[in-house]
Structure 1
Amino acid sequence: MLLDVLRGVAILGTLATNVWIFTHPSGEYGVLSDATAIATLSGNPVETAFRFLANGKFLALLTILFGVGLAIQYHSAQRRGERWPGRYRWRAGLLFVEGSLHFLLIFAFDVLMGYAVAALVVAWLLNRSGRVQKVVFWTTGSLHLALMLLGTVALLAGPDPAANPDPALTGLFTSGGYLDQVRFRLDNALALRSEPILTFSLLLFLFLFGVRLFRAGAFGADPTGRRIRRRLVWYGLGVGLPLNVATTLAGPDLFLVDRYVLPALVTVGYLGLVGMLLDRLRRPGPVVSGLTAVGRTALSCYVLQNLVCTVICYGWGLGLAATLAEARPWWVIGLWAAVCTGLTVGASLWLRRFQHGPLEALQRSLLTRRRTVAELG
């Protein structure tokens, strides 16, 4: 149950960051033209706290859990005596296709494409020795830290970049048509895909960290698991959280550290805290059951929450990003809460009738069909 709840928390938590992009006056273009579009400091303390608690943390949690899932599939294949990565390469390829469609048709800041590529690398690494995996783990972590620190030095030394928004694109997402937005993503694919490219070493590091946590027993209901989770809370919330508060208050010059370094440390505190809370529950209530349902249908909920927000916010839909621009941040937080509630209720009702989420079922069907064709061939 813990892993499902954590996945549910991670999925809904990523929306807590993305919802500010959907509701930005310039939408997805705003992230390219305005560096403050995903910054955590604002004039409203409630908005600042909300964005700080989500910024980069739940994306890191989702990445770690993807590594955990990869480790589980590897060990399952080992028990069945199957070759590895074997069929998993097709699963990763299908995930890349799904991510590409999600990027092009729904939301520019998709994570699935980067996960698919990182998964192929880590899947290959799982067949290597423990020493090789350890070397790659520390090398990728060190490389990412070095890149972020070098980037931070450049930000501190250089002048503040001047924002020169393109008037033709400023209103694209509040008043433009759907096909115009698709064309924008296609025309600016490299810039919009820069985050997973620049942080690819972080993806590998967090994937491998998830593998190491799983093998150490961090998700077990035994004393070992509880001890590890307590240590994660200490490191993440006792050490990482104060440091992350400091980098946030320091302003945009420390953006790279604030977004791509310290949130990964705070995330392990979130992971441990959720585990400690579940350890103290005698029976799951509606909140835990709802998060479990979202976790079991994570792919479907991830895509659906982004689709719902585009319909509500963008000009080709209800266009509320422009209509309610003066009601920020309260309507944005309300939108996040409403979508989260809808997903938890909807996922719970769906799983009463079906074993898997709709996209999970489609993925399984395609992979099964491919396997059948391969066996017949």
Structure 2
Amino acid sequence: MPADVIVKNQDRVQVLDVLRGFALAGILIINAMSILAVKGSTPAFTVDIPFADRTLQDLILFLVESKFFTLFSLLFGIGFAIQIQSAEKQGNAFLPRISRRMAGLLLFGLLHILLLWDGDILVIYAITGTLLILFKKTTYSRIRKWVISLLAVPGVLVLAILIYTLIARLSASGAETFAKSDASLAKEFANTDATQKLLQNGFIEGISERIHTYLELSPLLFSRIPTVLAMFLIGLYLGRSNFIRQLPEKIEILKKVRFWGLTVGFSLMFLIVAGTK
């Protein structure tokens, strides 16, 4: 590895390596569900699966989906801050190296889309990581304001959609409307199953299908950028403040974060799971 921006072994924070492995395990679970699932996850697609399978699917939605992606995004921001500190300590230029890394990540993500899977998130990470460079010297107070702003708008919108969907499904007219919509989607899904196309078509056709699917998914994927950037900024904040190196002294803060995180998180997840029924 080049001499610039090296994080020496004695400078590594072992808890970050443990959390990265934990996050990757969760991401593997949720991606395996997406890649291997024959049917989708909406009510119309899951009504005919066994009770045990549907229960497991709900548990994964409740405990896994979007949680480890968020954790990994947070770790990305912390790692970004550590690389800045390492570069400054060694007197090396940070911008050229991080720019090359983001370009490499973008290229790897594009190859991932073309050759393997249309659910790639690396392109989003590369784009958002490039935006994060702009916050390299931003003050802590400005970072906090950016995080609140980036999380507030999508958070309110998602909560409003969840509540509306739940209320609509519980009403007689709404339930009928959703049932018709689910039936229509299920019929369309059965006729245009991307998994079957990829299994039956050749290599070139597979690339074409993945590009087509990725373009269809891109509005949803790119809508994650504000949330990803917010997590990156929180990680940058924690890394720059050396919070992660002072965990034994921060136990009381972590206990409060755990309590409120679980309380609010579980409440919202009950709404989400109920909204999919």
TM-score, reference length from structure 2 = 0.76
Q: Rate the CA distance shift 1:248–1:209 in 2: closer, same or farther, 3 A.
A: same
Corresponding residue for residue 57 of structure 1 = 67
1:185 corresponds to which of 195, 210, 214: 210
Corresponding residue for residue 354 of structure 1 = none
Corresponding residue for residue 20 of structure 2 = 7
Q: Deviations over 1:20-65 (max 9, x none)?
A: 1122125xxx57xx67779xx9832344324421111111111111
1:135 and 2:145 are equivalent in the alignment: yes
Q: Distance in 2 between matches of 1:151 and 1:74?
A: 39
* Aligned-pair CA distance for 1:247: 1.4
% same residue = 24
Contact 1:108 1:185 in 2 (8 A): yes
1:17 and 2:46 are equivalent in the alignment: no
Q: Distance in 2 between matches of 1:212 and 1:42?
A: 45
- Aligned-partner SS, 1:165: helix
1:232 and 2:257 are equivalent in the alignment: yes
Greater Cα shift, 219-228 or 59-68: 219-228
* Aligned-pair CA distance for 1:14: 0.5
Corresponding residue for residue 68 of structure 1 = 78
Q: Distance in 1 between matches of 2:31 and 2:43?
A: 14
Q: Deviations over 1:97-119 (max 9, x none)?
A: 11111122111111111111111
Q: Distance in 1 between matches of 2:50 and 2:85?
A: 46
Corresponding residue for residue 251 of structure 1 = 275
Q: Rate the CA distance shift 1:36–1:121 in 2: closer, same or farther, 3 A.
A: farther
- Where structure 2 has 5 or more consecutive residues not aligned to the other structure, the ranges are 1-13, 169-173
- Where structure 1 has 5 or more consecutive residues not aligned to the other structure, the ranges are 254-377
1:43 corresponds to which of 43, 51, 55: 51
Q: Distance in 2 between matches of 1:245 and 1:188?
A: 28
1:203 corresponds to which of 228, 240, 245: 228
Q: What number of residue pairs does the alignment pair up?
A: 246
Contact 1:220 1:226 in 2 (8 A): no
* Aligned-pair CA distance for 1:79: 2.1
Q: Distance in 2 between matches of 1:8 and 1:36?
A: 34
**More relative contact order in 1 or in 2 (CA 8 Å, sep 6+)?**
2
1:75 aligned partner, one-letter code: Q
Contact 1:25 1:174 in 2 (8 A): no
* Aligned-pair CA distance for 1:143: 2.4
Corresponding residue for residue 104 of structure 1 = 114
Contact 1:218 1:229 in 2 (8 A): no
1:18 aligned partner, one-letter code: N
Flag as ranges the 4+ runs of structure 1 deviating above 6 A: 35-38
Q: What is the root-mean-square deviation in Å for CA atoms of aligned residues?
A: 3.0
2:276 aligned partner, one-letter code: P
Q: Distance in 2 between matches of 1:218 and 1:36?
A: 46
1:117 corresponds to which of 116, 127, 133: 127
* Aligned-pair CA distance for 1:129: 3.1
